[in-house]
Amino acid sequence: METLMAILIGCLFASGIYLMLRRSIVKLAIGLVLLSQSANLLIFTAAGLTRGNPPLVSAGESMPPLPYADPLPQALVLTAIVIGFGVLAFTLVLVKRVYQTVGTDDLDEMRSTDGFKD
Amino acid sequence: MKSLILQTATRSLVAVLLLFSIFLLLRGHDEPGGGFIGGLVAAAAFALYAIAFDVASTRRMLGMRPQMMIAIGLAMAGGSGVISLLASRPYLEHLWYHTDIPGFGEIHLGTFLLFDIGVFLVVIGVTLLVILTLSEE
Amino acid sequence: MSHDLLVALPIVIPLATGVIALLFYDSRDSQRVISVIGSAALLLAGIALLMTARADGILVTEMGGWPPPFGINFVADLFSSLMVLMTGLIAFTVSVYSLATMDPRRESFGYYPLFHILLMGITGSFLTGDMFNLFVWFEVMLISSFVLIALGGERPQLEGAIKYVALNLISSAILLGAIGLLYGLAGTLNMADLGMKLQDVDEPWLVTTVGMLFLVSFGIKAAVFPMFFWLPASYHTPPIAVTALIAALLSKVGIYALVRAFTLIFTQETSYTHQILLVVAGLTMITGVLGAVAQYEVRKLLSFHIISQIGYMLVGLAILSPLALAGSIFYIIHNMVTKTNLFLISGVAFRLQGTYELKKLGSLYRYHPWVSSLFFVSAMALAGMPPFSGFFAKLTLVRGSLELEHYAIVAVALLTSLLTLFSMTKIWTEGYWTPSPAEEEGKLPPGVDEFPGWTRNMVAMFLPIIILASLSVGMGILAQPVISLLVETAEQLLDPSLYIESVIGDEP
Q: Do C38 and C14 form a contact (C-beta atoms < 8 A)?
A: yes
Q: Which of B75, B61, B83 is nearest to B122 (CA)?
A: B75
Rounded mean pLDDT, C456-476: 89
Mean predicted lDDT score pLDDT of chain A? 85
Cβ within 8 Å, pair A89-B36: no
* Residues ≥6 apart with Cβ < 8 Å to B24: B33, B34, B37, B38, B41
**pLDDT, greater one: A116 or C312:** C312
Residue of A nearest to C297 (CA): A118
Q: What's residue C450's pLDDT?
A: 66
pLDDT for position A8: 94
**The predicted structure's pLDDT at residue C508:** 41
* A38: CB partners within 8 A, 6+ apart: A9, A12, A13, A16, C173, C177
Share of chain C above pLDDT 70, in %: 98
Cross-chain residue pair A92–B134, CB shorter than 8 Å: yes
Please check the confidence at residue C116 and state whether its pLDDT lies above 60.
yes
For residue A56, give the DSSP letter. Answer: P
Mutate to test the interface with B, among A79, A83, A93, A94 (most CBs of B within 10 A): A93
Q: What percent of chain C has pLDDT over 90?
A: 43
State the pLDDT confidence band at C449, using cuts at 50, 70 and 90: low
Q: Do B90 and C63 touch (CB under 8 A)?
A: yes
Backbone angle region of A57, left / alpha / beta, with phi > 0 → left and psi within -120 to 50 → alpha: beta
Q: Count of domains in chain C?
A: 1
* Residue C394 near residue C383, CB atoms below 8 Å: no
Q: At CA C325, angle to CA C322 and CA C327, rounded to 5?
A: 110
Instruction: Report pLDDT for C435.
Output: 83
Torsion sign across C-alpha atoms C46, C48, C51, C56? negative
Query: Can you count the helices (H) and strands (E) in chain C?
Result: 22, 2
Region C364-373: mean pLDDT is 84
Contact B68 C25 (CB under 8 A): yes
Dihedral sign of CA atoms A73, A77, A79, A80 in order: positive
Quick count: other Cβ atoms within 10 Å of Cβ C1? 10
Class of domain A2-50+70-108: mainly alpha
In degrees rounded to 5, what are phi and psi of residue C357?
Answer: -80, 125
Interface residue of A17, A22, A28, A113 to substitute, partner C, most C CBs within 10 Å: A113
Judge: B85–C22 Cβ closer than 8 Å, yes or no: no
Look at residues C19, C15, C21 and name the one whose alpha carbon lies nearest to residue C34.
Answer: C21
Subunits adjacent to chain C (3 or more Cβ pairs under 8 Å):
A, B
| Structural domain of C326 | 280-496
Predicted pLDDT of residue C78: 93
Mean pLDDT highest for which of A24-33, C361-370, C457-466? A24-33
Question: Please, which pLDDT band fits residue A82 given cuts at 50, 70 and 90?
Answer: confident
Q: For the packed helices C3-23 and B66-86, what is the interaxial angle rounded to 10 degrees?
A: 160
Q: Which residue has the higher pLDDT, B109 or C286?
A: C286
Question: Is there a domain that residue C414 lies in?
Answer: yes
User: How many degrees, rounded to 5, is the angle at CA C465 between CA C22 and CA C358?
Assistant: 105
DSSP secondary structure letters along C187-198: S--BHHHHHHHG
- For residue B11, give its domain range: 4-136
CB C183 within 8 A of CB A72: yes
pLDDT in tens, C197-216: 888 777 888 888 899 999 99
Choose among C16, C25, C113: nearest Cβ to B78.
C16
Termini Cα distance of chain A:
55
Contact C15 B89 (CB under 8 A): no
Res. C40: pLDDT tops 80: yes
Scanning C354-478, the segments in alpha helix (DSSP H) are 364-367, 369-383, 389-403, 407-427, 437-440, 456-477
pLDDT at A67 over 60: yes
Read off φ and ψ for residue C363, nearest 5 degrees: 60, 10
Contact B92 C61 (CB under 8 A): no
| Closest CB from B36, B127, B130 relative to A93 | B130
Nearest to B67 by CA among B121, B20, B119, B26: B121
What is the 3 state secondary structure string of A7-23?
HHHHHHHHHHHHHHHCC
For residue C464, whether the previous peptide bond is cis, meaning omega lies within 30 degrees of 0, is: no
CB atoms within 10 A of CB C263: 22
pLDDT (average), residues C490-505: 87
Q: What is the distance between the alpha carbons of residues A95 and A53, in angstroms, rounded to a whole number?
A: 42
Mention every residue, 6+ apart, whose C-beta is less than 8 A from residue C374: C341, C345, C465, C466, C469
Q: What is the band of C468 on the pLDDT scale with cuts at 50, 70, 90?
A: very high
pLDDT tens digit string along C80-111? 999 999 999 999 999 999 998 888 888 888 89
Using CA atoms, how far apart are residues B107 and C274, in angstroms rounded to an integer?
Answer: 57
Which residues of C lie inside 8 Å of B (Cβ-Cβ)? 2, 4-5, 8, 11-12, 15-16, 18-20, 22-23, 25, 61-65, 110, 113
Phi-psi region of B33 (alpha: psi -120 to 50; beta: other; left: phi over 0): left
3-state secondary structure of C121: helix
Tell if the CB–CB gap between B75 and C4 is shorter than 8 Å: no
Mention every residue, 6+ apart, whose C-beta is less than 8 A from residue A83. Answer: C136, C139
Q: What residues contact residue C97 under an 8 Å CB cut-off, 6+ apart?
A: C241, C244, C344, C347, C460, C461, C464, C465
Q: Identify the residue with better confidence: B134 or C419.
A: C419
Query: Which residue of chain B has the CA closest to A94?
Result: B134
In a domain, C424, yes or no: yes
Q: Is A14 on the interface with B (CB under 8 A)?
A: no
Q: Residue C173: inside a domain, yes or no?
A: no
**In DSSP terms, which residues pair with B98 in a beta bridge?**
B108
